[in-house]
């Protein structure tokens, strides 16, 4: 079957880079792009005129939130309430699953629907383990794989696992609570999921090893992860180089930096993706200058998943996007929080880079668009994603440019990033199959899903109180912005 999209603007791929095509068309046969340009004279079974829209390669989110929004709760805490958002040492010994398996499946569907509505076509999931009894399970991911297939997204999936959990002691100081057998059991679950994905034999469901934060992993578990990744030829994503607390804990436990721990445990020999990648020698809290960390990452072939919107909301920034890019490091993008809006994230990243580097052209819009498409494809080892070119997979997204609230149109890419959001997405296809159609997801009752998600968010919020080392309830941990109005007329 041949399908054609026609649009005022197409971000095509030509001569090794993206190129803007005016009044262009994209034709695909089944799951593969057959033609990009104008004047297609072959067969067309379905012809869609998108009008004044920008057609881009489907967005690749490699740190995609597959959870209910938690940043709305934990990104503005005070020194008094902040420690209460971690597990207490007491709770770590008696932890429980806040949600049932069925409830977790609803949460996953809610999150994947959000990704699709925001123009994401390929994702690698991230969720908070704070609401689990330890980490994620095989069953959760078997359920999520089916939900992902039903919606039609391309996912790189695997349950998280860890040997330890971040806790606070009775005085509110950060520490780690270890249970190494749980870590080993989690890796076994992850390997079992690799087998499950092979049995599914679905091109839209790929496997990955997704261990938790580096400080929660023992060297033994990191080495086992590296060995499994090499033997099964799957990528590893490890959250690290993301904060000073992580660096202090790793140095206290193992007498080395997180980067040195990665090297010691063989992960540089695996296909490694690092979300955030902020706290290296360039960071002001370390040395504030380049002493070789960037070169180490480049030589190892590591990809850094930059999450500008989330990093800023937690009070940090990359030092810097331009510096990393000039060094030859592969940069890709993630959202890591709600909303999963890579357009807002790219726009924010462009302007943060100006502040960090002190120049307006520090990270132009096109560099961020490349990270969200070609960079993500490189990180996954896929030269058939992230580009609109004959022979590539038909993963496409269309953003409207005709909303008066988005202002006048100059360059379509720059205008979308500066004036729009990912909510401008109206259409998407993954492997040539429609996912987003006229701004909605066929077969998905988003109204009912919103109600369910709000109920589950209330349950998640309330559970923080039982973990707080001071025993405060959720209303104390998350006070309202302003006091409630009191009707004095009664």
Six-digit token string for 343: 């357009």
Residue 487, domain member (yes or no): no
- Same domain membership, residue 44 and residue 65: no
- Same domain membership, residue 141 and residue 31: no
Instruction: Give the pLDDT score at 488.
Output: 86
For residue 373, give every residue at least 6 positions away whose Cβ sits within 8 Å of its Cβ, in sequence order, or none: 18, 56, 57, 58, 59, 60, 386, 387
Residue 128, domain member (yes or no): yes
Residue 189, domain member (yes or no): yes
Q: How many CB atoms lie within 10 A of CB 388?
A: 27
- Same domain membership, residue 23 and residue 162: no
The CATH number given to whatever domain includes residue 14 is: 2.30.40.10
Greatest C-alpha distance within the chain? 75
- Same domain membership, residue 428 and residue 286: no
- Same domain membership, residue 224 and residue 186: yes
DSSP label of 240: B
Helix axes 180-200, 138-151, angle to 10 degrees: 30
Instruction: Give the pLDDT score at 145.
Output: 98
Q: Which domain holds residue 327?
A: 59-385
Residue 483, domain member (yes or no): no
Tens of pLDDT, residues 412-465: 999 999 999 999 999 999 999 999 999 999 999 999 999 999 999 999 999 999
pLDDT band at residue 54 using 50, 70 and 90 as cut-offs: very high
The CATH number given to whatever domain includes residue 348 is: 3.20.20.140
pLDDT band at residue 36 using 50, 70 and 90 as cut-offs: very high
The arithmetic mean of pLDDT across residues 290-305, rounded, is: 96
Instruction: Give the pLDDT score at 172.
Output: 87
Instruction: Give the pLDDT score at 171.
Output: 85
**Residue at which a domain ends, from 385, 410, 430:** 385
Return d(Cα 62, Cα 324) in angstroms, integer.
18
- Same domain membership, residue 50 and residue 69: no
Helix H or strand E segment including 365: helix 365-370
- Same domain membership, residue 9 and residue 102: no
- Same domain membership, residue 77 and residue 165: yes
Tens of pLDDT, residues 465-482: 999 999 999 999 999 999
Instruction: Give the pLDDT score at 187.
Output: 98
Residue 193, domain member (yes or no): yes
- Same domain membership, residue 374 and residue 317: yes
Return d(Cα 143, Cα 104) in angstroms, integer.
9
- Same domain membership, residue 196 and residue 97: yes
Return d(Cα 217, Cα 210) in angstroms, integer.
12
- Same domain membership, residue 275 and residue 134: yes
pLDDT band at residue 260 using 50, 70 and 90 as cut-offs: very high
Q: Are 365 and 416 in contact (CB under 8 A)?
A: no
As beta bridge partners, residue 4 has 27, 47
Mode of pairing for the β-strands spanning 303-306 and 271-275: parallel
Tens of pLDDT, residues 263-294: 999 999 999 999 999 999 999 999 999 999 99
Instruction: Give the pLDDT score at 71.
Output: 87
- Same domain membership, residue 216 and residue 316: yes
With CA atoms as reference, report the closest residue to 254 among 17, 262, 38, 443.
Answer: 262
Tens of pLDDT, residues 142-200: 999 999 999 999 999 999 999 999 999 888 889 999 999 999 999 999 999 999 999 99
Residue 481, domain member (yes or no): no
Question: Degrees (nearest 5) of the Cα angle 244, 250, 256?
Answer: 105
Rg, Å, the chain Cα set: 23
For the sheet with 59-65, list strands across it: 59-65, 120-126, 154-157, 205-207
Cis preceding linkage at 27, omega within 30: no
**Residue at which a domain ends, from 385, 411, 428:** 385
Mode of pairing for the β-strands spanning 120-126 and 174-178: unpaired
Return d(Cα 171, Cα 184) in angstroms, integer.
30
What are the distances in angstroms from CA 28 to CA 7, 17, 39, 57, 91? 15, 20, 14, 13, 54
Q: Which residue has the tokens 């706290």?
A: 279
Tens of pLDDT, residues 84-124: 999 999 999 999 999 999 999 999 999 999 999 999 999 99
Cis preceding linkage at 251, omega within 30: no
With CA atoms as reference, report the closest residue to 312 among 75, 470, 147, 476.
Answer: 75
Residue 50, domain member (yes or no): yes
Residue 468, domain member (yes or no): no
pTM of the model: 0.97
Q: Residue 17: phi, psi to the nearest 5?
A: -155, 165
**Residue at which a domain ends, from 351, 385, 419:** 385
How many independent structural domains does the chain possess?
2
């Amino acid at each position: 079957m041949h399908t054609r999209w026609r649009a005022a603007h197409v971000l095509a791929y030509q001569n090794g880079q993206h190129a803007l095509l005016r009044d262009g068309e994209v034709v695909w046969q089944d799951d593969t792009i057959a033609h990009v340009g104008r004047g297609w004279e072959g067969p067309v079974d379905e012809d869609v005129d998108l009008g004044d829209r920008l057609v881009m390669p489907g967005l690749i989110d490699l740190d995609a939130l597959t959870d209910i929004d938690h940043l709305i709760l934990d990104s503005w805490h005070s020194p008094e309430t902040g420690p209460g958002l971690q597990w207490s040492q007491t709770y770590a010994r008696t932890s429980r699953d806040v949600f049932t398996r069925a409830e977790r499946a609803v949460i996953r569907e809610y999150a994947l629907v959000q990704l699709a509505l925001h123009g994401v076509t390929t994702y690698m999931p991230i969720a908070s383990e704070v609401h689990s009894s330890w980490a994620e399970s095989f069953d959760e991911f078997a359920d999520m794989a089916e939900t992902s297939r039903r919606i039609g997204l391309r996912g790189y999936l695997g349950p998280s696992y860890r040997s330890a959990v971040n806790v606070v002691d009775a005085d509110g100081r950060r520490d780690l609570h270890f249970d190494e057998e749980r870590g080993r059991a989690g890796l076994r679950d992850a390997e079992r999921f690799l087998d499950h994905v092979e049995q599914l034999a679905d091109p839209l469901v790929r496997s990955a090893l997704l261990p938790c934060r580096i400080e929660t992993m023992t060297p033994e578990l990191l080495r086992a992860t590296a060995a499994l990744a090499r033997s099964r030829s799957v990528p590893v994503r490890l959250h690290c180089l993301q904060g000073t607390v992580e660096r202090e804990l790793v140095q206290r436990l193992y007498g080395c930096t997180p980067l040195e721990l990665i090297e010691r445990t063989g992960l540089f020999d695996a296909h490694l993706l690092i979300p955030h990648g902020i706290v290296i020698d360039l960071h002001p809290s370390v040395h504030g200058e380049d002493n070789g960390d960037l070169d180490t990452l480049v030589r190892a072939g590591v990809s850094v998943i930059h999450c500008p919107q989330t990093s800023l909301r937690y009070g940090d920034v990359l030092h810097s996007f331009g510096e990393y890019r000039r060094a030859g490091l592969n940069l890709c993008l993630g959202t890591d929080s709600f909303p999963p809006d890579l357009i807002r994230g790219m726009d924010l990243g462009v302007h943060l880079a100006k502040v960090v580097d002190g120049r307006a052209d520090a990270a132009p819009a096109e560099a961020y668009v490349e990270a969200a498409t070609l960079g993500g494809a490189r990180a996954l080892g896929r030269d058939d994603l992230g580009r609109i070119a004959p022979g590539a997979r038909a993963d496409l997204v269309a953003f409207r440019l005709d909303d008066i609230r988005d202002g006048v149109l100059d360059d379509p890419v720059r205008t979308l990033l500066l004036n729009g959001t990912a909510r401008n997405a109206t259409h998407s296809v993954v492997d040539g199959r429609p996912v987003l159609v006229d701004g909605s997801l066929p077969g998905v009752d988003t109204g009912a899903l919103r109600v369910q998600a709000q109920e589950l968010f209330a349950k998640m919020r309330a559970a923080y109180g039982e973990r707080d080392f001071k025993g405060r309830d959720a209303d104390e941990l998350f006070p309202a912005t302003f006091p409630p109005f009191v009707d004095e007329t009664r």
